[in-house]
Structures are given as C-alpha cells and as structure tokens.
Chains A and B, each alone.
Chain A
Amino acid sequence: MILYEILHSLAGPSSLSDQDPHGWRTPVDCVRANELCAAESSCSSRYRTLRQCLAGRDRNTMLANKECQAALEVLQESPLYDCRCKRGMKKELQCLQIYWSIHLGLTEGEEFYEASPYEPVTSRLSDIFRLASIFSGMDPATNSKSNHCLDAAKACNLNENCKRLRSAYISTCTKDISPTERCNRRKCHKALRQFFDRVPSEYTYRLLFCSCKDQACAERRRQTIVPSCSYEDREKPNCLDLRNLCRTDHLCRSRLADFHTNCQVSFQSLTSCPGDNYQACLGSYAGMIGFDMTPNYIDSSTSSLTVSPWCSCRGSGNMEEECEKFLKDFTENPCLRNAIQAFGNGTDVSLTPKNPSPPITLATKTSNESPPLPDDINDSNTIFDTSVITTCTSIQEQEQKLNKSKEPSLCFSETQLTTDIMPDQKTFVDQKASSNQHSVAGILSAVPFLLVKLAL
C-alpha cells in the first residue's frame, strides 16, 4: 500500500491522465481504468456513447455512424484501451465485461484467434517445475512402479486447502440429483473453478499433468476433473457451435482467448510455445476447466497424450476446415503437449545459452506491463525469471545424470542473486521512460526480492 502511494506520488498526476508526454501509459486493470475514465467527463461520455453504439449492432454498422467512430478513436487514447484483467482477481467478471465492451468494437468480432484479456503470465515457472522434478525423482528404487498421479493425490490430501476444495468438487460432481440426471453440471463446474482458482498450481498441476507409465495411472489422470459430470455429455456438439456458445460468455471467451494466446504453436521457439513459456500455456489450459470449453484427456492411453474439448467436427458443412483447425489446437498441439510432458517429467525449458534473446524480450515486455498495484508486488518478479532457467536447468540436468542428491533451492537462489544485482537487468524499467522516476520504481520493486532472498 505504501509502495503504491510512493509510486503514484513519484509518477505525479500525469500518470492518471490519458497519456504522459513520453507515451508511457500506466498499465491498469480495466476496473481501475473504468474508474479513471469515469472521473473524466470527456472519457466517460465517449465510453457511454460507444457502449450504446455497440449494443445490439455489429461492428460495421457501428462504424458507419460518425459519432460512434469518434467515440472509439478517443477511447483508443484512454487507459481503457490498454487495460487487462487478472485471473482470479476481485471483480474479474466486471473487469472482463469492461474489456470486451471496448475490444469487441475494435476487432472484427468473428476472428479465429482473439487476444487474451489477461495480463501475461510472469510467475516463476521454475518453482513448480522444480517441485515436480523433486517429486518425480524422489524415490529412485520404486520409480518404475510409482504412480505420479497417485502421489499427486496424496500431496493434495495432506494439504488442508487442497483436500478441502478437491473433496468439495468431487462430492459436488458425483452427487446424483435424479435418476435421469447424473449431476448438477453447473455446480460441478463452479466447484472445479474454485479448485483451480484457489489452490496453488503446484498441487493442481500435479494432479492434472502427472506423467504416467501405465493405464491405471492415466485413467486416474483422466478422472481428475470428474469427466462424467464436468466433461461428457449425451451429445457431442460441433466444435464451432461450442466455440460460439463459449463466446457468448465473457469468462469462457476470455479463458479461450487466453489459451489461444499462450498455447498457440510458435515456430520461432524451441518448445513450440510462445516465449517458451510452459507455465503460461498450462495455466491457460487449466483456466478453461469449469466452462463450456472444458478440455480433458480423451482416453487413458499412456502413449498418446491427446486432449480435447467435448466436441467434434461432424456437421461442419463448409466450415470443416476451420473446425479442424480449431480442434487441432487441442488435439495436435506440440506446445501444449510439450508443456504437459515437461511438467510431468519435471523438466523445464532448456534453452541453449547462445540464444538468449527471446526470454529477455519477454521479460522486458511483461515487466513494462505489470502495474504498480499493491497486490502485484509479489507477481512482478519477472526480472530474473525466464533468463535464469538456462543455468538452473543445466545444473539440474547435470545432477540428474550424475544421480546425485539435488539441491535445487540453492541453484535458484544463486541465479536469483546474480540477476538481481546485475545492473543491465534493471534497465528494462528505464527503456521507454526518460525521467528517472521509473528507475526509482525499479529499485523499489526490487526491494521485495532482496527481502525474499535474505529470507532464504
């Protein structure tokens, strides 16, 4: 809270207006952006106009109206235009409603891929991968017989929060309501969303993405989301129909757009994932569970790792090609598959040291966009994240080869130390800013990491 105030007093009133003289906007969430807009009479009237323009009309009809067009142009300069939302934030639905109220007017509407309304994932992916690797390599003697999905269930049962929310969705999703209806799907989905929103991913991902060597394990993995209630249905709809249904709901639409943003096959990266960010892809996959587009493993085979929403391309007519393309982003997606396998095996992205440019651009981008809100302090530790992986994984891999006992926390904190101290790593804050207020912000935001490090 104090940090937030300091940052704002440093940034001065310019950051509260549409744009500061350097073209540097304050990145804010859409709820906040809406408040800022409401405080300004010109912005709020344009926003009202635009919403009226969009109501019940398509984009082209709207743009034919001069007043609507003018409103749109003005709003593109306002903080509303850049605003994003956070998964599981307070007022998430309200935030997404604001986001789509503008963005549906800006895009063509029926685009195949939509941009994600969520902030880029900047969490420390190495942490959970490290956990997975510790668990997967935990007991070498029983390794051939061990069932990682069973281990994941054990870990969850021994954690109070995970156990409670897991039992909550399982009992909800397995409760018979009448002889004809197997369960209350709506309640089941809600309980699943609560589980994936409120339980740390080190537990939920282990249950969802555990690696399997036999069918019993793979069947347990498939059963994780209680598919008989949350996934399967009497009929399999057409995938494009299902997509349209999903797009009528702000949350489902946002989660799908987030999946398309973070799991879209990229040919520029080694892992096939955008920015080599497995965590972002796994997170947006898990983010679709509990909505109409809920994905799951299609069978309990151990060899082919195929996931899909409950839909098919039957009855696509002349849209067959588009439907197949949509479905293949789930069923034949190397990014998603690599991410799931890497998590299951406990291996992280291993980038060759001679190619450090993609992770650095990613870190630059995300750190510029993370807002100086108080609850963001813990999440803004992007600085050391992706660029650290190389060193950390290579050490872990060496140790795996040598079959030595591992000390991954040491590995992580050491690399953290170097990146935090390295001065050139901090320059990202100053990149676009010409005044020194932002470098002050950079130093301030580094304080929590230094404290964390001291705690280690």
Chain B
Amino acid sequence: NRMKRARARHKPCALKELEVTVSELGLGYESDETVLFRYCSGTCETAVRNYDMSLKNMRLKKKIKKEKVRARPCCRPLSYDDDVSFLDARNHYHTVNELSAKECGCV
C-alpha cells in the first residue's frame, strides 16, 4: 500500500478534476451550484533543465544567498478554462475567470 502511495506521489504533472460546490471554492461566493474544478498535479523530475541544476549549484556555492529562488520546475496550468457562470444563493449571477486549469506543464 505504501508502494502504491509512493507511486501516486510520483505521477508526472497532469490535469486532474474535482466536482465542488461554488461555496467550497472559498472565493466568497455563496452558491450550492456544482462546478468542475480542474487542477494541475504531479512531479516535474523529468523536466529539470540546466537552468535548475545551475541555480541549485549557485545556491550551494553561496553565490546566491538572500534571494528567494526556485531551483525546481513546478507543475502549473499553462492555460485556463473559459469563464464559469453561476447563480448564487441570493439569486444573483456571477462570472469568474481563470478558475480552472485547461492544460498543465512543468514550468
């Protein structure tokens, strides 16, 4: 079982989806309407670039000390889904943009 969990944690970066209510999104809207929330999840081990390795080495050699840097690629949306509209509990319509991921990648 631990093996399975470990393998799941090492899945490459990909799009996943969840059915959630608008209220659960925590954006301050109160609505029981269900929307599809797509997000990016997975590792980016295979996407390590020379940039990342060099940056890591610069940090190890203390050439970069104080700045905040990220020396690993990160699984993030490359593009976002179209707008999502919904009716809230007070019967007002709202439209939110860039709510859901459309395409993922290691950036």
Contacts and interface: CB of A to CB of B under 8 A. Distances in A.
Contacts of B33: 150, 153-154, 157
B79 interface: no
Contacts of B86: 153, 157
B87 A157 contact: no
Contacts of B84: 157, 163, 167
Given A166-B85, A167-B84, A154 B91 contact: no
Contacts of B36: 157-158, 163
A68 interface: no
A220 interface: yes
A174 B92 CA distance: 9
A157 B31 CA distance: 13
Chain B contact surface mostly: strand
Contacts of A219: 91
A171 B95 contact: yes
A171 B83 contact: yes
Interface in A124-175: 147, 150, 153-154, 157-158, 163-164, 166-167, 170-171, 173-174
Contact of B87 (A158, A164, A171, A220): A220
B91 to A, nearest CB: 6
A24 B75 CA distance: 66
Given A150-B33, A153-B34, A154-B33, A167 B83 contact: yes
Nearest to B100: A163
Interface string B65-107: 0000000000000000011111100010101000000000000
Contacts of A170: 85, 93, 95
Number of chain B interface residues as a range: 10 to 19
A239 interface: no
A226 interface: yes
A347 interface: no
B31 to A, nearest CB: 9
Contacts of A158: 19, 34, 36
Contacts of A238: none
21 contacts: A153-B33, A153-B86, A154-B19, A154-B33, A157-B33, A157-B84, A158-B19, A163-B82, A164-B82, A166-B85, A167-B82, A170-B93, A170-B95, A171-B85, A171-B95, A173-B93, A174-B93, A174-B95, A220-B87, A220-B91, A223-B93
Given A154-B19, A171-B85, 9 more contacts: A147-B32, A153-B34, A153-B87, A154-B33, A157-B36, A158-B36, A167-B85, A167-B95, A223-B91
